[in-house]
């Protein structure tokens, strides 16, 4: 069975501060994908990133960066110089890669509030 | 591309009524997923299809729920009869073999 844990239910930071959202996962699969999605107040689910379990390189996209560590089963997400528009619920998710194992298992989400 | 299109955006119905939610996946995507989001249970998979065939329906709550995909460009999720505990946001999502999952804007269902 797959499981994703986002221990931080809510986080509030002042604008321009850096913030890290934690994600820990469990899976018996040897190959898998990890994801982050953003759900702004308008309610849609926006894809942010997908990482393959083969690739442990960290990734940076503008103010966003992701740290994947297989040894600790973690896939953490950092926002640098946070902005009010970053306020949203962020979901970490996990899926298998092989046919029949493609469903995404989501964590419970972290509600991030950026205070102006 | 237009993205995943769901209708209606909001649905309010009375307990016992039939509800049908609709989804048009992204053209060319051969996977279609239905998820439900509630405060208590978070985001949970109901069912997913590949090439219009259900692959995993283990998340469908009970016989009151049914999903169909008659062709590559259309899917429905039906609840009959509806109950107040079915109130949730229902998301449809699609992907192809190599792409990540792309979600529609969701249907907010309220059963009174």
Q: Is A15 on the interface with B (CB under 8 A)?
A: no
- Using CA atoms, how far residue B68 sits from A15, B35, B54, in Å, is 46, 14, 8
pLDDT in tens, A72-82: 999 999 999 99
Q: A109: which 2 tokens?
A: 């989400």
Long-range contacts of A46-52 (CB under 8 A, 24+ apart): A46/B103, A47/B100, A47/B101, A47/B102, A47/B103, A48/A77, A50/B100, A51/A75, A52/A97
Q: Is A99 on the interface with B (CB under 8 A)?
A: yes
- Nearest chain A Cα distance for residue B18, angstroms: 25
pLDDT in tens, A43-74: 999 999 999 999 888 889 999 999 999 999 99
Judging contacts by C-beta atoms under 8 Å, the chain A residues touching residue B48 are 102-103
| % of chain A surpassing 70 pLDDT | 100
Of B48, B91, B95, the CB nearest to A45: B91
Q: Looking at chain B, which runs of residues are DSSP E strands?
A: 5-7, 10-13, 19-24, 31-38, 42-50, 53-56, 65-71, 74-79, 88-95, 102-103, 107-111
Average pLDDT of chain A? 95
CA atoms of A104 and A96, how far apart (whole Å): 8
Indicate the pLDDT class of residue A15, thresholds 50, 70 and 90: very high
pLDDT in tens, B62-111: 899 999 999 999 999 999 999 999 999 999 999 998 899 999 999 999 99
pLDDT in the model for residue A37: 98
Nearest CA in chain B to A44: B105
What sign results for the dihedral spanned by CA atoms A108, A113, B3, B5?
Answer: positive
pLDDT in tens, B9-68: 999 999 999 999 999 999 999 999 999 999 999 999 999 999 999 999 999 988 999 999
Indicate the pLDDT class of residue A19, thresholds 50, 70 and 90: very high
pLDDT in the model for residue A100: 83
């Amino acid at each position: 069975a797959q499981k994703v844990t986002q221990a931080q239910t809510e986080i509030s930071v002042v604008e321009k501060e850096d913030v890290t959202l934690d994600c820990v996962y469990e899976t018996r699969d040897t190959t898998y994908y990890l994801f982050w999605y953003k759900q702004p107040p308008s309610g849609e689910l926006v894809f942010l990133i997908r990482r393959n379990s083969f690739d442990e390189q960290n990734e940076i996209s503008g103010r966003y960066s992701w740290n994947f560590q297989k040894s600790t089963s973690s896939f953490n997400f950092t926002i640098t110089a946070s902005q009010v528009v970053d306020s949203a619920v962020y979901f970490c998710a996990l899926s298998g890669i092989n046919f029949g194992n493609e469903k995404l298992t989501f964590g419970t989400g972290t509600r991030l509030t950026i205070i102006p | 591309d237009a993205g995943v299109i769901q209708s209606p955006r909001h649905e309010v119905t009375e307990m016992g009524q039939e509800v049908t939610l609709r989804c048009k996946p992204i053209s060319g995507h051969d996977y279609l997923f239905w998820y439900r989001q509630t405060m208590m249970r978070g985001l949970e998979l109901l069912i997913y299809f590949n090439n219009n065939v259900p692959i995993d329906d283990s998340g469908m709550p009970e016989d009151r729920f049914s999903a169909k995909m008659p062709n590559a460009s259309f899917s429905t999720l039906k609840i009959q009869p509806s109950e107040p505990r079915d109130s949730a946001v229902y998301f449809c999502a699609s992907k192809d073999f190599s792409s990540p999952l792309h979600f529609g804007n969701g249907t907010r269902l309220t059963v009174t």
